[in-house]
Each structure stands twice: as C-alpha cells, then as structure tokens.
Amino acid sequence: MVCVRACVLASLFVACIRTAGFETGQIMYAFFEKFQIAADWVSFVFVLYNFAVVGAVGILYGKIVPRTLSQGYLIVISICICYLLRYFPEWTGWILLVLLALWDLFAVLAPCGPLKALVKMASERQDPIPGLLYTVRCCRGTLRLDHLVWPRLVSLSRVGIHMQPSSACLMGCFVVG
C-alpha cells in the first residue's frame, strides 16, 4: 500500500512539474519573443526548474508552504492548460468541456463516485487530499459599520424608517484553497 501511495505521489509530482515547468516555459518564451525581451537559456531553464519544483511541492505538500502559494500555483496550472486548449480546433474544446462536465457530475453526485470514495478513504486515514479539493473557512463575527451605514440610515429615518446602525453584522466566507 505504501508503494502504491509513493507511485501515485511521484506521478502527480512529475505531472505538476511538467505542467508548471514546460507549459509555463512555452508561454514565457512566446511572451519574450513577442515583446523582444532578451534572456539566456541557462537562466531561463534555472528559473523554470525552480518554479516547477516549488509549485509541485506547494500543491502536493500543502502543509509546509503557505496556502496562498499553493493557490497561486493551482491558478498558474489552470491558466497553462487553458492556454494549451486554444491550439486545438473549436469542436475539440466544446467536446472536452461537455465530457468534463459529465465526469464532474458523476464524480460529485454519484454514490459510487470517485470523489466520495476519495473523501471517505482520506477521512478514515485522517490524511489531507493534496491539490484536489478547495476548502472554505467561514468566519463569523460582528463588525460595526457605523461610518458606512449611518448616512443611509439617516436618510431612511427621514421617511419614517428607524434602524440601529450598530445592528449591522458582517459574515464572510473566504476560499482558502
């Protein structure tokens, strides 16, 4: 079982390095050519290699890096994949979109879907699910908005509606990746 876990993590690590390194390198190279920015290959490859390795570590081992770093790398990988899809014919993109939506519906809603099995297995082992799920942290509290709410309440009191400005409450949810 340990061998299977190591193989899965290694394949995910290589896929993250490939996407964050090679694909980002292609995008950066096109950017440098378009705006005629000079860069030597040694520095370019060194920067891409470091970017890719730090990105893979950030995505797969989220406990040792800040959450914003892993979120940033997930966004970069999404941008790279979207950039690559623009080279395919239009019908290919639409078919991939429909198939991805159908797979997503099955994975999330089916009682025997892979997401439910993955979450169940991770909760039994008390392991995190690296790079696959976004978590949401909700914070709840009151925040006095007197300086923001008071002018509107004064105008409402002129027409006969009376409210207390200290009753304003703020509840926010923050996606933290």
Give bridge partners of residue 136 from the DSSP assignment. 175
**Separation CA 73–CA 26 (nearest Å):** 16
59-89 pLDDT, tens digit each: 888 778 888 888 888 898 888 888 888 888 9
Residues 81, 9 share a domain: yes
Residues 35, 87 share a domain: yes
Taking alpha carbons only, the member of 42, 46, 54, 43 closest to residue 17 is 54
3-44 pLDDT, tens digit each: 888 888 888 888 888 878 888 898 999 999 999 999 899 999
Domain range enclosing 148: 136-175
Residues 145, 105 share a domain: no
Q: Domains in the chain: how many in total?
A: 2
Q: Residue 138 has what pLDDT?
A: 55
Q: What is the pTM of this model?
A: 0.56
**Separation CA 177–CA 174 (nearest Å):** 9
Residues 156, 115 share a domain: no
With a pLDDT cut of 90, the percent of the chain lying above it is: 19
